Amino acid sequence: MSVKSLQHCHCLIVDHDVYMRRILRQMLRQLGLGEIDEAKDGAQAFAMTGQTSFQIVITELQMPIMGGVELTGQIRHAKTVENAMPVIGYTSNITPELVTSARDSGINELMTRPFSSGILERKLNLAVLNPRTFTRSPSYIGPCRRRKPLSTYIGSRRREADRQAATPNAAIILTAASQDQLTKRFAKSPS
Tell me if 126 sits within 8 A of 136, measured CB to CB. Answer: no
Tell me if 109 sits within 8 A of 126, measured CB to CB. Answer: yes
The most confident of 31-40, 78-87, 157-166, by mean pLDDT: 31-40
Tell me if 87 sits within 8 A of 106, measured CB to CB. Answer: yes
With 70 as the cut, is the pLDDT of residue 100 above it? yes
Tell me if 46 sits within 8 A of 68, measured CB to CB. Answer: no
With 90 as the cut, is the pLDDT of residue 168 above it? no
CA distances to 18, 130, 143, 188 from 127, in Å = 24, 6, 9, 38
pTM of the model: 0.74
With 90 as the cut, is the pLDDT of residue 110 above it? yes
**pLDDT (mean) for 34-60:** 94
Indicate the CATH number for domain 3-143.
3.40.50.2300
- Per-residue model confidence (pLDDT) at position 158: 58
Residue among 24, 31, 26, 27 at smallest CA distance from 5: 31
Residue ranges per structural domain of the chain: 3-143, 150-191
CA distance 120 to 111: 8
With 70 as the cut, is the pLDDT of residue 174 above it? no
Predicted confidence band at 107 (pLDDT cuts at 50, 70, 90)? very high
49-64 confidence digits (pLDDT tens)? 989 989 999 999 999 9
